[in-house]
Amino acid sequence: PAEDIVLARVRAMALCAVAYWREVSQDLGRAASSLARFLEQQRRLYWRRPAWRGVNLGGWLLLEPGPSHDLFKRHSADAGCEWDLLQRMREKLGPEGTADALQAHRETFLTEEDFRKIRSLGFNAVRIPFGYWIVTGPADGEPFVGPGLEFLDRALEWCKKYGLQALLDLHGAPGGESGEKPCGRERKEW
């Protein structure tokens, strides 16, 4: 019965906790192992879902020089963040050309096949960083291209289809949340 399973897990947790406290002052490796066993029992008891084993889908809906290397290399190798890249792209391509280039990137950087492969490799979760401009469009005077909510919708459909959990990460908030590159705009004065 279900009660027996719960009691067995609680007993296992108690034994792991006792082992941890007994071993922590003598052998940190064994103590860490006991703690890991305790947490695994706790997860099974309370969460009832497998632990997340996932991948980051950075560089798709918030551009960074590392994951979006090809786009940066093609349009402005010295740009350090999405803001700088898009300003340089607008100078070269104009607003419409920049929008077209971003649309092509968003259409091809990740596809349904990528989500299928992620699942087939044994992962069960994806992290999707995005800037606020994907949801609302950019504020006046900002070079960001958006909205692009259809890409988040598409990603969530694929997650559902392939049994992946999604962590939606608002990585670029209005006004920025830091002066670092990964929020979409690097600012030294932040």
- For residue 42, the Cα-to-chain-centroid distance in whole angstroms is 25
Residue 170: φ, ψ to 5°: -70, 90
For the chain, what is the largest distance between any 2 Cα atoms, rounded to a whole number of angstroms? 68
Residue for token pair 């995005």: 130
Asked whether 110 and 60 are in contact (CB, 8 A), the reply is yes
- Total-model pTM: 0.73
Asked whether 55 and 123 are in contact (CB, 8 A), the reply is yes
User: Helix %, strand %, coil % for the chain, to 5?
Assistant: 55, 10, 35
Separation between Cα atoms, residue 104 and residue 55, nearest integer Å = 23
The C-alpha torsion from 136 through 139 and 140 to 146, rounded to 10°, is: -50
**pLDDT in tens for each of the 190 residues of the chain?**
778 888 888 888 888 888 888 888 888 888 888 888 888 888 777 776 777 899 999 999 999 999 999 999 999 989 988 999 999 999 999 999 999 999 999 999 999 999 999 999 999 999 999 999 999 999 999 999 999 999 999 999 999 999 999 999 998 888 766 666 566 666 666 5
Of 143, 151, 147, 110, which is closest to residue 132 (Cα–Cα)?
A: 147
Show Cβ contacts of residue 115 under 8 Å, excluding neighbours closer than 6 positions.
126, 155, 158, 159, 161, 162, 164
